[in-house]
Amino acid sequence: MSETRETRLTGVAASDGVAVGKTFVHTPGPLTPDRETIERGSEKSELARFDEAVKIVVRKLTETGESLTASGNEKEAEIFEAHIEFAEDSELRDEVEARVKSLESPEAAVLAVGEEFAAMIAAMDDEYMAARADDVRDVASQIAAELIGCEAAGLEALDRPSVILAKSLAPSDTARIPKGKALGFVTAEGSKTSHVSIMARSMGIPAVVGVGEILEETLGAETVAVDGTEGYAVADPGPDTVSEFEAKAEEVATENAALEEFKNVEGRTKDGTRIEISANLGSAKEAKDAIAYGAEGVGLFRTEFLFMERDELPTEDEQFEVYKEAVEAFGEKPVIFRTLDVGGDKDLPGVEQPVEENPFLGWRGIRMCLDVPGLFKPQIRALLRAAAFGNAKVMFPMVADVSEVVAAKKVVDECRAELEAEGVSFGDISVGVMVETPAAAVCAHVIAPEVSFFSIGTNDLVQYTLAADRGNEKLEHLQSADHPSVLRLIGMTCEAAKDAGIWVGVCGEAAGEPDLMPKLISLGVTELSMSAPRIPRAKKVVSEVLYRSRFLTAQYTHATHRLPTSDRRERRET
Ligand code: PEP
Ligand code: MG
């Protein structure tokens, strides 16, 4: 066996697949210089290093600007031009030079000068200029990062296919990654249902999350191998490990080829019960890929990404265009739009959100929307207008009480009346509710008569039922819908739906887990919505399920039935 400097990072298997690639370290926020001072006599060479770092940053910024211009994003390209101007600014150079001459390290100097300039700009009585303070900090960090030897640029600057190493990745970070440039993710924080994992799965990118502090020791690694199926990564893999990963990649490719034939079949159990297999989308742009994977509709369109990827709220017309594009792409197939669900781990530029001690138990989802009509109504109006062009449905997130459903439906009625009075055309839209709080599941019989369908959000339902933060990697063993408490709540929801004559889908990540599919179907779920790359396998699994074996239901939901929670804990500890 050849000698290597390999480091193994064990974490959560967040998104299937394997990859080996060069690393890109994403370190947002303030950087800490590794040295504050330099030795006397080295001033000249340290200044030369600074000039070289500026050159590299300018080259990278120029390349990013050019590729944005080439893809028609001139406005974004202008931001990079301003960044270049600051990087080459003579005042910045002079200040850094003065500090280096008094033996401050160039990395500490550029960060300090960047901070001084940013503070000056932020204090200006001009909103536009004040907003530029972050740009200045950003450029100073990029130069410092070059000097320190790590890349601090935003993920939009990712210019070669890489494995991204980060402490954590916010949904807005992942949304900015240029297509095809992320080979894999390895993060210190996060769990299977945190949004970075969901994004990774929908982008088909192998990911290992929640590896913990060991990540910091590997930030200098040149290459990393990721196994998102097994949940581990290897930093600086030796030749044997690289060959092993290449063999695994081949296996995955063969397996995917065998699933090809399921892309175009209808979701049906072995004994013929129709189960719709749909996709979870974060944008209309993903529709084409989802259809190619065999999506029979959209079970969850997360509208918040449209709000988060920009600095201002999208207008009604802008939203209408996006929703219309999505429903048109799917023709007669249903597209279920989930109204804005921010709060928790999702921030919203443009709406002031209070700092909350427990944001997951806070002002989020339908609670926020009902309080801010200026946010909610344009969205509902845009959805009603888009419904004229396809099969649009709408559902409300984070419902805990029937009164919220009644109030939200009232807003839908008001918007319909407004559009009618204005002579604006709109279509029929059926209204559903996400069941993702234990309260909604327990009171499903009260809510069901008010709506046309339920969609169970197992990600939140699990965290609220088991009181286990979905983003906390230490609680991974509790992050499963395969727990009697959760299965019982799903069973109760399905019973209530059956009594009211409405259907039930699952759009949380559990819908795409092969082991859970037979259980969900036996409980009465007739639609499973998941990250698009999981669809072919889901159709295959469903085709092997016997719907008639519903007697199994009692076994799944019986309170005394032991599920492998303790086994999972043991596995985690070994
Ligand atoms: C869920 O909670 O299961 C869900 C689908 O919503 P999100 O993951 O966006 O919170
Ligand atoms: Mg949710």
Task: At 383, give phi and psi (nearest 5°).
Answer: -70, -40
- 412 C-beta closer than 6 A to ligand 1: no
- 457 C-beta closer than 6 A to ligand 1: yes
Q: At what angle do helices 133-148 and 43-70 cross, to 10 degrees?
A: 120
Q: For residue 35, give the nearest of 140, 101, 109, 118 by alpha carbon.
A: 109
- Collapsing DSSP states into helix, strand and coil, what is residue 300? strand
Spacing, Cα 434 to ligand 2 middle (Å): 8
Q: Mutation test of ligand 1: which of 506, 507, 531, 534 has the most ligand atoms closer than 8 Å to its C-beta?
A: 507
Which ligand 1 atom is the nearest neighbour of the CA of 507?
5
Q: Which ligand is nearest to the CA of 196?
A: 1
Residue type, position 504, single letter: V
Same domain (yes/no): 201, 279: no
**Distance between CA atoms of 545 and 535, rounded to whole angstroms?**
15
- 365 C-beta closer than 6 A to ligand 1: no
**Distance between CA atoms of 152 and 25, rounded to whole angstroms?**
7
pLDDT at 355: 84
Spacing, Cα 459 to ligand 1 middle (Å): 5
**Burial letters 33-61, b for 16+ CB under 10 A, else e:** beeeebeeeebeebbebbeebbeebbebb
Q: Are 435 and 502 within 8 A, CB to CB?
A: no
Spacing, Cα 418 to ligand 2 middle (Å): 30
In a domain, residue 35? The reply is: no
**Distance between CA atoms of 490 and 524, rounded to whole angstroms?**
9
**Cβ count near 257 (within 10 Å):** 9
Task: At 191, give phi and psi (nearest 5°).
Answer: -135, -175
Spacing, Cα 41 to ligand 1 middle (Å): 58
Which ligand 1 atom is the nearest neighbour of the CA of 458?
3
Token couple for 428: 């029929």
Query: Considering 116, 148, 180, which residue would you say is the last residue of a domain?
Result: 148
Query: Which residue puts its alpha carbon closest to atom 8 of ligand 1?
Result: 459
Which ligand 1 atom is the nearest neighbour of the CA of 509?
3
Same domain (yes/no): 355, 413: yes
Spacing, Cα 30 to ligand 1 middle (Å): 31
Token couple for 79: 């931001």
CATH number at residue 286: 3.20.20.60
Q: How many helices (H) and strands (E) does the chain have?
A: 24, 16
Q: Are 497 and 525 within 8 A, CB to CB?
A: no
Output DSSP code: residue 265: S
Spacing, Cα 282 to ligand 2 middle (Å): 13
In Å, what is the CA distance from 387 to each residue of 313, 328, 392, 434, 453? 21, 10, 5, 20, 17
Output DSSP code: residue 346: B
In a domain, residue 244? The reply is: no
Spacing, Cα 338 to ligand 2 middle (Å): 10
Same domain (yes/no): 91, 224: no
Query: Which residue puts its alpha carbon closest to atom 6 of ligand 1?
Result: 457
Residues assigned a catalytic role: 195, 507
Task: At 503, give phi and psi (nearest 5°).
Answer: -100, 165
Residue that is written with structure tokens 């639609």 in the block: 527
Q: What is the DSSP string of 478-514?
A: G--S-SHHHHHHHHHHHHHHHHHT-EEEE-SGGGG-T
Same domain (yes/no): 426, 466: yes
Query: Which residue puts its alpha carbon closest to atom 4 of ligand 1?
Result: 457
Spatial CB neighbours of 112, under 8 Å, sequence gap ≥ 6: 99, 104
Q: Are 297 and 278 within 8 A, CB to CB?
A: yes
Spatial CB neighbours of 107, under 8 Å, sequence gap ≥ 6: 31, 33, 34, 35, 144, 147, 148
Q: Which ligand is nearest to the CA of 281?
A: 1
Q: For residue 307, give the nearest of 375, 229, 408 by alpha carbon.
A: 375
Same domain (yes/no): 289, 350: yes
Token couple for 262: 């399921």
**Distance between CA atoms of 336 and 488, rounded to whole angstroms?**
25
Task: Kindly give the confidence (pLDDT) of every residue in the chain, 574 residues in length, as a single tens digit, with 9 standing for 90 and above.
Answer: 445 689 999 999 999 999 999 999 887 666 778 889 999 999 999 999 999 999 988 987 887 677 667 766 565 567 678 888 889 999 999 999 999 999 999 999 999 999 898 888 877 766 566 557 667 877 888 898 888 876 555 677 787 899 999 988 866 567 668 878 899 999 998 888 777 788 788 888 999 999 999 998 888 888 999 999 999 999 999 999 999 999 999 998 998 899 999 999 999 999 899 999 999 999 998 999 999 999 999 999 999 888 876 778 899 999 999 999 999 999 999 999 999 998 765 667 777 788 888 888 999 999 999 999 999 999 999 999 999 999 999 999 999 999 999 999 999 999 999 999 999 999 999 999 999 999 999 999 999 999 999 999 999 999 999 999 988 888 888 989 999 999 999 999 999 999 999 999 999 999 999 999 999 999 999 999 999 999 999 999 999 998 765 555 555 665 444 444 444 444 444 3
Q: For residue 155, give the nearest of 67, 27, 314, 292 by alpha carbon.
A: 27
Query: Considering 132, 148, 164, which residue would you say is the last residue of a domain?
Result: 148
Q: Which ligand is nearest to the CA of 462?
A: 1
Spacing, Cα 459 to ligand 2 middle (Å): 6
pLDDT at 141: 83
The pTM assigned to this predicted structure is 0.72
- 507 C-beta closer than 6 A to ligand 1: yes
Same domain (yes/no): 532, 474: yes
Q: Mutation test of ligand 1: which of 174, 191, 193, 493 has the most ligand atoms closer than 8 Å to its C-beta?
A: 193
Residue that is written with structure tokens 């080459």 in the block: 88
Spacing, Cα 241 to ligand 2 middle (Å): 38
- 458 C-beta closer than 6 A to ligand 1: yes
pLDDT at 560: 43
**Distance between CA atoms of 509 and 404, rounded to whole angstroms?**
25
In a domain, residue 261? The reply is: no
Same domain (yes/no): 455, 558: yes
How many angstroms separate the first and last alpha carbons of the chain? 25
pLDDT at 559: 45
Residue 144 is part of which domain span? Answer: 43-148
Same domain (yes/no): 364, 281: yes
Token couple for 241: 């490990």
Give the 3-state secondary structure of 234-257: EECCCHHHHHHHHHHHHHHHHHHH
Which ligand 1 atom is the nearest neighbour of the CA of 459?
3
Same domain (yes/no): 333, 473: yes
In a domain, residue 529? The reply is: yes
Token couple for 519: 């259980």
Same domain (yes/no): 365, 412: yes
Same domain (yes/no): 220, 353: no
Name the domain count of the chain. 3
Consecutive H or E run containing 376 = helix 373-386
CATH number at residue 105: 1.10.274.10
Which ligand 1 atom is the nearest neighbour of the CA of 195?
8
**Burial letters 510-530, b for 16+ CB under 10 A, else e:** bbbbeebbbbbbbbbbbbbbb
- 300 C-beta closer than 6 A to ligand 1: yes
- 460 C-beta closer than 6 A to ligand 1: yes
Which ligand 1 atom is the nearest neighbour of the CA of 508?
3
In a domain, residue 32? The reply is: no
Q: Which ligand is nearest to the CA of 193?
A: 1
- 508 C-beta closer than 6 A to ligand 1: yes
In a domain, residue 68? The reply is: yes
In a domain, residue 19? The reply is: yes
Q: Mutation test of ligand 1: which of 300, 306, 366 has the most ligand atoms closer than 8 Å to its C-beta?
A: 300
| Range list of H helices, 331-372 | 366-371
- 304 C-beta closer than 6 A to ligand 1: no
In a domain, residue 262? The reply is: no
**Cβ count near 363 (within 10 Å):** 15
| Vertex 472 angle, CA 512 and 151, to 5° | 95
pLDDT at 156: 74
Same domain (yes/no): 424, 516: yes
pLDDT at 356: 86
Query: Considering 148, 181, 211, which residue would you say is the last residue of a domain?
Result: 148
Q: What is the DSSP string of 17-55?
A: -EEEEEEEEE--S----S-SB--TT-HHHHHHHHHHHHH
- 302 C-beta closer than 6 A to ligand 1: yes
Token couple for 3: 């000698």
